[in-house]
Amino acid sequence: MLKYDKVLKLLEDAGYNTYKMKKTKLLSQSTYQKLKDGTTNLDGKSIDRLCKEFNCQPGDLMEWVPDKKE
């Protein structure tokens, strides 16, 4: 599964909140909230915008972790 803790930390450190997301159109407010809730994935266009904004690579935004076996 993909985890987005890295991008959430990056956004938090840069002072992004739901208002700034709406103003800059970096991510939609709903996508941002769903990322915080852990209920969505980022599409390619969103990853591209984030990488441009923060001058980083996709691996700086997310990480893959194996699913927990039940």
Residue 16 domain-assigned (yes or no): yes
C-alpha count within 13 angstroms, C-beta hemisphere, residue 15? 2
List per-residue pLDDT tens for the chain, 70 residues long. Answer: 899 999 999 999 999 988 898 899 999 888 988 998 989 899 999 999 999 999 999 999 999 999 887 6
For the whole model, what pTM was predicted?
A: 0.87
Spatial neighbors of 3 by CB under 8 A, at least 6 apart, are 62, 63, 64, 65
Residue 69 domain-assigned (yes or no): no
Give the tokens for residue 7.
């991008």
Report the domain count for the chain: 1
Residue 65 domain-assigned (yes or no): no
Residue 11 domain-assigned (yes or no): yes
